[in-house]
Amino acid sequence: MKSLFIPPKFDFALAWTFDIAYPLMTKAMFNLDHVVISHQDRTRLRELSQKRAVYFSNHPTTMEPPVAYAVANAMGSRFHFMASRNVFDWAGGFVGEVIRRVGAFSVLAGGADRDAVKMSRQILTERDGKLAIYPEGMCSGENDNLLPFLPGTAQIGFWGLEDAKKLDPNADITVVPAFVKYVLVGSKSFILEDIKISIGRIEAALHLNSGNRNLLRRFLMVGRFLLERTESEYGITPDPGQDYDFRVGRIRHETLNRAAKLLNVEFAQDENAIDKIRELFTALDSIEAGFPRKGCEHVTPEIFTQAKKEVEKAYTFLVTKPNHLVSRPTAERFIEWLSRYETLIFGKTGTRAREAHVYFPEFFTLGEYYDAYKKDKRGTVVAVTERLRSTLEKLMKQASLTTAPIVPPEDLGDI
């Protein structure tokens, strides 16, 4: 019988094999060349080898767990990870059997998985227990941006500390915030040529003529075409008095509302697009895992595919924000747009060669907040979550300077 919750089952022999094969595996699976961690940070991480820790990282792509695996190696330790329940069924269950042996355990999206929470607490009671958490709750699709954090991001850490203190009154948990910044590998001319060829394929598929437009203008042209095509598909007549951002926002909500109707998901009034996407991911993940949430039992494979396509459209219009690209047109931001375009138009996208640079601030401990937590649990969890958010935003700004624009900012050339 299929199990709802799948616990970790550490196999150190397999983990050591992963350690040796890591460079080849991450290159083959993710086109990831290196994980770059400074010597100073490696020294600080090693000091946590025998301590409890919670690692909080941004989550722009699906590559962050392999990056966290490298961070754990730099620490001289092992991390436990939460992974979506449906992942454990990939390749007939083979993928799940492998990842659980290097520390992964299942979680149903949405944060209400009691078994996953119980396992997280249990891990943090261990003398050197370590847990990786992604407070955005889903892949953002943008490396130079952060989604709103899930409410109560720090709560699992405090629950773990409460349990650990029952066994050892002096127990503490170190908080390790981290920001992962991906940097494309290759010369500027090589990367620029790849971007031009890729946008050219998209223009050809859409029957668009780039004319004398420069690169920025070509990307915006494709975005506007997709917007207008979607408006036409949905029977939406643009209001001349509304700007581009308003039109994009309306399309985002329309696609998400259509997906919700297909899945029988009800949104709260005036719910924002991020929370809508999270709710829909929860519903889609539960269906794909074989444990559909209440109201989704009727969903057929055809309806599932249709709903997923609607969410993909919303994701495209969430990531492709003109001001974000035009103000700092780095190769990495161009590639983010290309990935969304390619997924929407071709149904798939390739991963370009890149390095992952990991940035760390000063670490802190939950013990510093424990007295305040005992007096005001909710308020203290909010305060620590806000500290994490502020810290990752500062790291993000620092990391964004790693890459420079490859074409002049704000230069849209001729139409």
pLDDT one digit per residue (tens) for the chain, 415 residues? 567 899 999 998 999 999 999 999 999 999 999 999 999 999 999 999 999 999 999 999 999 999 999 999 999 999 999 888 888 988 888 888 999 999 999 987 655 688 999 999 999 999 999 999 999 988 999 999 999 999 888 999 999 999 999 999 999 999 999 999 999 999 999 999 999 999 999 999 999 999 999 999 999 999 999 999 999 999 999 888 888 889 999 999 999 999 999 999 999 888 999 999 999 998 998 898 888 988 899 999 999 999 999 999 998 998 999 999 999 999 999 999 999 999 999 999 999 999 999 999 999 999 999 999 999 999 999 999 999 999 999 999 999 999 999 999 999 987 7
The answer as to whether 5 is a domain residue is no
Q: How much is the pTM?
A: 0.94
Task: Check whether residue 175 and residue 259 sit in a common domain.
Answer: no
The answer as to whether 315 is a domain residue is yes
Taking a C-beta distance cutoff of 8 angstroms, is the pair 202, 222 a contact? yes
Q: What is the distance between the alpha carbons of residues 233 and 225, in angstroms, rounded to a whole number? A: 12
Per-residue tokens: 294: 């209440």
Task: Check whether residue 131 and residue 24 sit in a common domain.
Answer: yes
The amino acid present at 226, given as its one-letter code, is: L
Taking a C-beta distance cutoff of 8 angstroms, is the pair 137, 147 a contact? yes
Task: Check whether residue 221 and residue 338 sit in a common domain.
Answer: yes
Q: 3-state class of 350 per DSSP? A: coil
Task: Check whether residue 142 and residue 196 sit in a common domain.
Answer: no
Q: What do you get for the CA distance between the two ends of the chain, in Å?
A: 61
Q: Determine the structural domain holding residue 360 and report its residue range.
A: 12-185+353-400
Task: Check whether residue 244 and residue 388 sit in a common domain.
Answer: no
The CATH code of the domain that includes 122 is: 3.40.50
Task: Check whether residue 384 and residue 324 sit in a common domain.
Answer: no
Q: Rounded to 5 degrees, what are φ and ψ at 138? A: -165, 165
Q: How confident is the model over 320-370, as pLDDT tens digits?
A: 999 999 999 999 999 999 999 999 999 999 999 999 999 999 999 999 999
Cα-based torsion angle of the residue sequence 319, 308, 133, 57 in order, rounded to the nearest 10 degrees: -20
The answer as to whether 405 is a domain residue is no
The answer as to whether 407 is a domain residue is no
Cα-based torsion angle of the residue sequence 313, 341, 138, 100 in order, rounded to the nearest 10 degrees: 120
The answer as to whether 410 is a domain residue is no
Please report the pLDDT score of residue 1 as a whole number.
Answer: 57
Q: What is the distance between the alpha carbons of residues 85 and 403, in angstroms, rounded to a whole number? A: 35
The answer as to whether 415 is a domain residue is no
Region of 187 (left: φ > 0; alpha: ψ -120 to 50; beta: rest) is beta
Task: Check whether residue 96 and residue 16 sit in a common domain.
Answer: yes
Residue 105 β-bridge partners: 82
Q: What is the distance between the alpha carbons of residues 162 and 185, in angstroms, rounded to a whole number? A: 44
Please report the pLDDT score of residue 57 as a whole number.
Answer: 98
Question: How distant, in Å, are the alpha carbons of 9, 56, 102, 171, 396 from that of 181?
Answer: 30, 14, 24, 32, 8
Question: How distant, in Å, are the alpha carbons of 75, 157, 310 from that of 367?
Answer: 21, 10, 44
Q: How confident is the model over 46-97, as pLDDT tens digits?
A: 999 999 999 999 999 999 999 999 999 999 999 999 888 888 988 888 888 9
Task: Check whether residue 249 and residue 323 sit in a common domain.
Answer: yes
Please report the pLDDT score of residue 249 as a whole number.
Answer: 92
Q: What is the distance between the alpha carbons of residues 133 and 123, in angstroms, rounded to a whole number? A: 13
Name the domain count of the chain: 2
Please report the pLDDT score of residue 400 as a whole number.
Answer: 94
